[in-house]
Structure 1
């Protein structure tokens, strides 16, 4: 640990943040990542076999990515070279590679840790390929973004992607226990206050220790309740980036909760997105899409509710207009579901592409000229409103299509149950006419 402070011109006696004082000194002290570090976990297997493969550590902030990389270098006797992709460029990479080659000639290896590796562009990522293949470095990259979206396929093929989990309550509780041991006294909070601290951390161990340090250093004369903790600490904004993976994860969760007819879960994900600063009109557009894709004619009022919510939000703005979005989400979640129109449209598009430019049957074509009448245009057309029941049963597909495709198959849910009965009567009428 001291090398970090010596590099910054500090000695071991200098004041150090709690999160740094409690940084694990061995892999067994890392909390919350037993699926990687214990038993048959991939990193545990590497340690047992005495080899460290290049890897990408993917996970949220504050779960131990940097610590694991540092301790892997320590355990394997490799020189630890840390870099941040935010502050480094091609020149920095070249210097690291040169030092690594020199060490290799001296019989020593290098573990290059690249934080926020997804920040490097594709050309910079390609620069890792030869030194990884030659064994000049063992690369450990850390990222909070989905590697399959942000990293080159060539680089991914040379690295094992390991997923780190956000820290659960048990792991966060262990960190608070260690904080109390470091200070030599209990955290001055009630049990409810302790739970509040854990909730505020949102799975980020480093952030939890920073919060605990603020509470310790405030030296209150009594145990703090949740309300007092909220006054003492500033609440952290949820981890969310509107053009990154978390955005797509949450909108997917909202859409699937509506599709799954769970209004409570749908409201939760809606609140999560609005609380994180999502554009309400983006959500309104997605709600309209849900009404079309997942409900359709099972509840024809769903699309009107979705569009009305957009109009109300346009009129009122935030925060009052957000209630209209919530009402539309509940309406859609509680509505009977059908994707029959959505499926029918895809089928119709496919058949239209396959059949090319077939003409409509002549009896449904207009005949504004004598020539067209002589060619049979409009001959035999029956006006449906004059037919019994308002349906003549004529054929409307091209004559060349021998099979009459059925694209729309209504469900037995909601309004579509009635539609299904009606369509079956009309289908029988057409079949009888065709003989």
Structure 2
């Protein structure tokens, strides 16, 4: 049997620089049981110095209450060592996070540099929800760059737990900062998020420091881009309206990856060899505005067809996208008058799902949805009787927009706000 290791007492610790110190500390580390009380007392009464090598050994054996006790002592020192907290505070627990929040509570205007520089990264390491607004406020505050970088380091340490929308907004704002020491790491953190393209692509349209802009392009270039298949309605005989062809061409230039159109009114789909390389994932985006038969029946068949060639990432139909609905509401708001609620003319739908969707769309857009058959007689009558402001729920030119051009104006893709939003959303897809 191995003999028990001799007990190590604080008074026995060899002085710094002594050849015996390293071996003695190793012996202390190997103690099967170590009572931290005499060591904490020795540090608190000043008989022992808080040297880094000693702290490296003690920190492994301190439970959270002992860690906070040591930090409380550190906080009372006239010139506290900024490196001590990171050595000592290793556990994640609510009480430690609360202590850190308490120390930082006075805010950027009331604290010097040493304390926040030491504690902000540790606050992020705790990954507590209450830490996020504190880190965000320090990151955005008009204070010295080292302090803001310490807050950014805290954000980085807890990156996966912060509220996603607020995190992207905060880092995107910081990416436009005039200080590249803050802007460049913000871009790097955005690139670490799942689905990073959605966060990074909008930065291309922001004013960035030239070096940060180059960094952004490097991060985007490192993210694989899927080829896209845009499923559209098309016109009789599979004809593709010019606005859809132009959309696909511009989108392909922006993404740097193939973009093809598949019209529901055409018989053969695009050739797989035009769109896919071996091992690629295909992004399939239904640019359809209503949950009609095409969405419920034709789309599953299209997905099955392409699944024979590649793994398919299938996105919801365009009419269900919240940002598209919000943009549609903005477009309709420009048509509204005091006397009349705008009309949203759409192809007739059947079934309870369609009814629920139209009710939701009315609530989100403020318009009144009106089923509009595309027969020549009905369109001719509507041309004479339509009085309220109206918008055709048609992405590209069709019989409705052709016959009622004076009453409903151009199709949705010919309206700049809607077209730009759709381009931005499609560009940001994986």
* TM-score in same-fold range (> 0.5): no
With structure 2 as the length reference, what TM-score do the two structures score? Answer: 0.26
Higher relative contact order (CA 8 A, sep 6+): 1
TM-score by length of 1: 0.26
